[in-house]
Copies of this chain bind each other. A is one copy, B any other.
């Protein structure tokens, strides 16, 4: 169970207790085991049976390119070790599979909480995306079709919408590949604008896991790989997960 009290800001990337700074995460013990295998994390993350709506499924707004790519990767889930990740309305819905550390409290009020990349519920207007993850290769593919609510320059996706989806794809990959939970840094170089309604493919790789940090890279490009939209890197922090026995 997640602790129910609501605590203040959570300090990242720094494990000593500073005077006057809220310290709600446990200090990391270098000897603590990050014991969960990717397979175990994936199976908790992808419940076989659930009543929750999965937003990472085709709907009427998906363009032919998006549908074709989805089918292509769905085939790979049968033969090539890829896993299609479900995407619920909030990380709270993932909590059964997505364990949080002690102290990262969940407010128990009645708000309609939504994960940012699912903040728009009208099909096709905002984020349409699905992430496929490969546990043994420690990589992800995200198919992304931005809608007209994600606009920056007229007719094109806002750079921040791509940044947010890169962060989200990094975060799910980091969690499943190595219990990475929090973004330490995100560096993006933008190359081309993504037209609203087209499809971008985000390729995410875990480059290395070192000193309780995961180092990842991402390239976002068009389906034909002729247009690179952006390249990025991200660093995520591993945090000691709450013991299952405490539930």
Q: Which of B22, B154, B164, B185 contacts A189 (CB 8 A)?
A: B185
Contact B116 A150 (CB under 8 A): yes
Q: Which of B9, B20, B150, B229 contacts A119 (CB 8 A)?
A: B150
- Residues of A within 8 A of B (CB-CB), count: 73
Shortest Cβ distance from A194 into chain B, in angstroms? 7
Contact B117 A158 (CB under 8 A): yes
Q: Which residues of B contact A20 (CB under 8 A)?
A: 226
Contact A164 B154 (CB under 8 A): no
Q: Which of B14, B114, B156 contacts A10 (CB 8 A)?
A: B156
Return the CB mask of A173-198 against B: 1 if under 8 Å, else 0: 00000000111111111111111100
Contact B152 A116 (CB under 8 A): yes
A135 on the B face (CB < 8 A): no
Contact B148 A114 (CB under 8 A): yes
Contact A91 B226 (CB under 8 A): no
13 contacts between A and B (CB under 8 A): A9-B193, A9-B194, A90-B154, A92-B154, A107-B154, A113-B196, A114-B151, A115-B151, A116-B149, A116-B151, A184-B189, A185-B188, A185-B190
Q: Which residues of B contact A186 (CB under 8 A)?
A: 159, 163, 186-188, 190
Return the CB mask of A159-179 against B: 1 if under 8 Å, else 0: 111011111100100000000
Q: Could you tell me the distance between the alpha carbons of A158 and B170 in the complex, rounded to whole angstroms?
A: 12
> Which of A31-39, A70-78, A98-106 lines the interface with chain B?
A98-106
Contact B154 A104 (CB under 8 A): yes
Contact A195 B151 (CB under 8 A): no
Contact B190 A183 (CB under 8 A): yes
Known contacts A21-B226, A116-B150; is A155 also within 8 Å of B12 by CB? no
Q: Which of B116, B155, B163 contacts A105 (CB 8 A)?
A: B155
